[in-house]
Structure 1
Amino acid sequence: MKTSSFQHMYLVASVLPRMTALRRFVMEGMMLVLGFRIKKDTSKAEQSKEAKVFISNHISKFDFIPFHVSLSCNTPNTSSFSFPFWAGGGECLGLINLGRNTRFSRSTFLSKLKSFLCRTEAPIVLFPEEETTNGKKGLLKFSSWPVSACNCVQPVILSAHRPITSISLSPIPSSWYSDFFWFLFTPCTVYTIKFLPVMKRAQNETDEDLMSRIEACIACEGRLSPTLCTPSEKYELEKRLVRALATQNSGARRYDSRMYAEAQRIREIFPNIPLNAIVRELGRSHGNAELTISRLIADSSFQNLSFNSSSSFNQSPSPSSPSTPQFNASPHNRMSAFAEKKAQFIAEARRRYIEKHGLNVPS
């Protein structure tokens, strides 16, 4: 149902004219059907008609959608937006192609951006972090190129939460298709766009200085910490996490296979003890077979299951021994008898294990 609703929204976005109240109303209604609500926070400032460029933090690969639906904003298709809108279809949802990739230099991209701003009335939203964060702790270092195309911008803070679930918008590591899956099938997602006061370039102010002021403003109002981390450092972190996860999974698989093989060998000595109990004791003893055998024998719940009645030390009962066990009243004697019985069990189990696997262990 949600997939069909998204297709209908995509079709409506393609047909209805841009920057009209009807299109905005229909798009917001269809977003509600999909489980998305977009709120505007004007507690600090109203949406400016003077500034045509919004500067925002970056929290997911689909940040351009709430901006386009609510504010009719366009967004350049930079490397952080990897969703494959074929044949220019991304423009229906505000994603425009200005050639921001390895084939074009930054100067070429900025000249195209300035030309686009001159010939359109629609505002544009830029994400100077160039990579996503969770929007809760800190900001990646802002790049200065977004303010090279204009002298007047309005900072905004984009935040999102999912009231019913705790699924992150863009976890590390993730891909566009996994994020898109949760984007569609999460029951409810609430986006909030908080407007901040318009910031203008001071006389002789450089792009870096203006962007530093914008970054400090967004960090302060969003209660975020500005950092010196760059998108390339985040990419390296993702690669390390992927490698660590792959190593951990392969190590766990090897550890499990060895554990179960060892448990099967021990179970040949204790056929009446459940395999999962042996595996559990092996895990507690870190794979030590002799320690596991000792613990199984010492566990009172397994004492009656340790050996078959036909293989209990090959000892026949003495004819003079009484048929019913006698309770020893002395605690010291009872503990001595228990320790002696335990030692016999351990010695017998050790002997059987060594004989079974042909180990050359000095006695």
Structure 2
Amino acid sequence: MALTVDKLANDDRFSGDNVFQFLLYLPFGILILALRTLLALILWVASILLPKKSAVGQLLSTLACWTFGVYVKLKGNRDPRCSVMVANYVSCLDSLATSHVLGTISLRKWKVPPFFASTLGIKNAAQFVRKQHFAESPSRPVLLQPEGGPTNGRGLLKFTDWPFPIGNRVQPVSIKVERMYTNVTVHRPGDTRDKFPWSDALWFLWTPLTVFTIQLLPAMERGDDDDAAFVQRLRQSIAGSLGVEMLEFRWEQVNSSGAWRARASAAELRRGAARVRDVLPRVPLRDVLADLAVTQSVDVTITNFLEGITPYTPERADTPPPGPSSPPPPKYVTPVPTGVFPKSAKERQLSFQERKAQMIAEARRKYIEKHGLNLA
């Protein structure tokens, strides 16, 4: 059975089967949390006072791994000719683990203090200049995680988040994370790309040990492939190493799915079903609700019905014959895009609504043509 978007996110922190062992460890976890918090303060002071040199950076990286209880297993060999590495996204400390053993720089949109960013081996993606970086530190490759956000590792999301065009030679990397008692990443309704998940980091401090397994895969040459074909080869390599399937979901769908489940109710599902039936009026309501409960997305549900992924029996259209006084039903008109990029945010939002209406109109037209409906 294919994975659905709701199976890619963890909503609960506790993951163990033996609650008794968890309760026994609880007081030791609180003690470890207190000691590691003290170590984190020492690390903060050291990052401010010590000079910015490579040996000092390696020392701070080691202290950061001790602070967060991170242990890294490295497999495979790094290709020195590759300045870009591409990996899956598992946790908020992927950058620390890879920076510690590979000396990589990870691009993030997090708004965190500079000392914290440098210790974790991250740079702000908005301030990153590719040519300048490779001129100043050619030995430090850039680690890209183009899934856009973390999942529970059960599938590989569609790659969408490219800060800059990738080069002609790239080394794929697979990352696995193991931990006792608690899940590494938990999705909350307020999760965004520019906000560091402090709650996940806090549980790193509480957990006795988190093991990262980093597998360096054979480097790949672009050859005659365009970006889409090259990215697909990279995805196949990483998914094969992880033993998971490649999915067409984006991280925004996984994140919105978590937000939906957090506030889901019968009223929410029915409002979503009403939106689906506005586009596909002949799909039975019970089928819409059943599919919507699985996908947690109105757009994905519409796609499932349009492409035949979710089978259904169309409802009979009981349309009364038009009388002499009744006006003819309005035809659905596809809005025409203006082709001009608006200057203000308000105008851009209106343009987005127009494009959205155009996509729905196109989906409706294809559905009508496919089923031979006569709505005129």
Taking structure 1 as the reference length, the TM-score comes to: 0.56
**Which residue number corresponds to residue 176 of structure 2?**
159
Q: Distance in 1 between matches of 2:210 and 2:243?
A: 21
Establish whether residue 196 from structure 1 lines up as the match of residue 217 from structure 2: yes
State the Cα deviation string for residues 180-212 of structure 1 (Å, max 9, x = none). 210211111111111100111113x21111110
Establish whether residue 27 from structure 1 lines up as the match of residue 47 from structure 2: no
The 3 A distance-change label for structure 1 pair 10 and 212 is farther
The 3 A distance-change label for structure 1 pair 185 and 33 is same
Q: How does 1:258-337 map to 2 (within 5 A)?
A: none
Establish whether residue 86 from structure 1 lines up as the match of residue 86 from structure 2: no
The 3 A distance-change label for structure 1 pair 25 and 94 is closer
The 3 A distance-change label for structure 1 pair 169 and 18 is farther
Establish whether residue 119 from structure 1 lines up as the match of residue 136 from structure 2: yes
Q: Which runs of 5+ in 2 are unaligned?
A: 1-34, 192-196, 269-376
Q: 1:225 aligns with which of 231, 242, 245?
A: 245
**Which residue number corresponds to residue 212 of structure 1?**
232
CA contact (8 A) 1:147 1:211 kept: no
Greater relative contact order (Cα 8 A, min sep 6): structure 1 or 2? 2
CA contact (8 A) 1:74 1:125 kept: yes
The 3 A distance-change label for structure 1 pair 30 and 132 is closer
CA contact (8 A) 2:177 2:211 kept: yes
The 3 A distance-change label for structure 1 pair 11 and 216 is farther
Structural RMSD (CA): 2.8
The structural deviation recorded for 1:147 is 7.0
Q: 2:159 aligns with which of 133, 139, 142?
A: 142
Moved over 6 A (4+): 245-248
State the Cα deviation string for residues 32-83 of structure 1 (Å, max 9, x = none). 36422111012xxx111111111110001221111122222111123xxx4x
Q: 2:188 aligns with which of 166, 170, 173?
A: 173
**Which residue number corresponds to residue 234 of structure 1?**
254
The 3 A distance-change label for structure 1 pair 227 and 114 is farther
Q: Distance in 1 between matches of 2:69 and 2:217?
A: 27
Q: Distance in 2 between matches of 1:93 and 1:25?
A: 12
The structural deviation recorded for 1:13 is 4.7
Q: Which runs of 5+ in 1 are unaligned?
A: 101-108, 249-363
The structural deviation recorded for 1:245 is 8.1
The 3 A distance-change label for structure 1 pair 26 and 225 is same
CA contact (8 A) 2:61 2:100 kept: yes
State the Cα deviation string for residues 108-140 of structure 1 (Å, max 9, x = none). x7xx334423432211111010111112x2011
- Corresponding letter in the other structure for 1:170: T
**Which residue number corresponds to residue 244 of structure 1?**
264
CA contact (8 A) 2:147 2:161 kept: no
State the Cα deviation string for residues 272-326 of structure 1 (Å, max 9, x = none). xxxxxxxxxxxxxxxxxxxxxxxxxxxxxxxxxxxxxxxxxxxxxxxxxxxxxxx
CA contact (8 A) 1:144 1:211 kept: no
Q: Distance in 1 between matches of 2:37 and 2:267?
A: 36
The structural deviation recorded for 1:229 is 0.1
CA contact (8 A) 1:143 1:211 kept: no
**Which residue number corresponds to residue 60 of structure 1?**
91
The 3 A distance-change label for structure 1 pair 99 and 39 is same
The 3 A distance-change label for structure 1 pair 18 and 63 is farther
The structural deviation recorded for 1:2 is 0.6
- Corresponding letter in the other structure for 1:201: R
Q: Percent same amino acid at aligned positions? A: 24
CA contact (8 A) 2:60 2:119 kept: no
The structural deviation recorded for 1:97 is 1.8
CA contact (8 A) 2:104 2:141 kept: yes
**Which residue number corresponds to residue 207 of structure 2?**
186
The 3 A distance-change label for structure 1 pair 246 and 134 is farther
- What is the aligned residue count? 226
